Amino acid sequence: MPRRFSFPCLESRRKAAPTVFFLQRCFPSEFALGFNLILHKIKMSSKKPIYMIAACSENRAIGKEGGGLPWSISEDTAYWTEKVTGGIIIEGRRCFEELGGPFPNTDTIVLSRNPDFSLDNAYTAVSMESAIELAQNLGGEGPIWICGGPAVYQAGMPLAEKLYLTQVYDEVEGVAFFPDWRADFAVELDRRDSSDENYSYSFLVLTRGN
């Protein structure tokens, strides 16, 4: 029976040939400098995902008189922190001030209609579109998180891919309200129910329907 010879180096080169040809055609100048530059260009051209994150009551309240949430739920605070850490936050000026400045280990973009408004410790933008463009051009791989308040959520609603919503099962008094999301984010990807001594609530991950 004749022996069959295998040449692993030639086999791997033959299998890789279509990929190499594609990269050489698409990135001719970088190809001569090696695959590291090619992979870097592919990585830089990829888009960061855009998410919204919020907590609201059954009547969609998200803010109380004087600022802040209408409740204090430590588990929700920990959930929010876990999600946004390492990402890019887009928020309104009032939310930024209520947080006391930029959140640790994130890049923060603050929206303001005033084109002369600037901050030493955060980026600024005059519209949601310019904020998204800025966020996409910042370094890092973390998601872009649209974090409120109401006008910022409304502007971000058509742009977000997913909504991370803490649904608090109570009707509370409020002065700021989350936009009605149900027509836009109709598909439930994940759900975790929980409660504390004051409230029952669910952590929902929602996406758009077909």
The overall average pLDDT reported for the chain is 84
pTM as predicted = 0.77
Report pLDDT digits (tens) over 50-99.
999 999 999 999 999 988 999 999 999 999 999 999 999 999 999 999 88
Residue 4 is given by DSSP the state -
Sign of the dihedral through C-alpha 120, 90, 167, 63 = positive
Looking at residue 205, its pLDDT comes to 98
At 83 the pLDDT is: 97
β-pair type (187-195, 200-207):
antiparallel
Q: Tell me: the pLDDT tens digits for 5-54?
A: 333 333 333 344 444 444 455 555 554 555 444 433 433 445 999 999 99
In whole angstroms, give the CA distance from residue 114 to residue 94. 13
- Cβ neighbours of residue 107 under 8 Å, at least 6 residues apart? 87, 88, 89, 123, 135, 138, 140
Q: Where are the domains of the chain?
A: 8-43, 50-207
Query: Which of the listed CATH numbers 3.40.640.10, 3.40.30.10, 3.40.430.10, 3.30.565.10 matches domain 50-207?
Result: 3.40.430.10
Decide if 191 contacts 76 (C-beta within 8 A).
no
Q: What is the pLDDT of residue 70?
A: 95
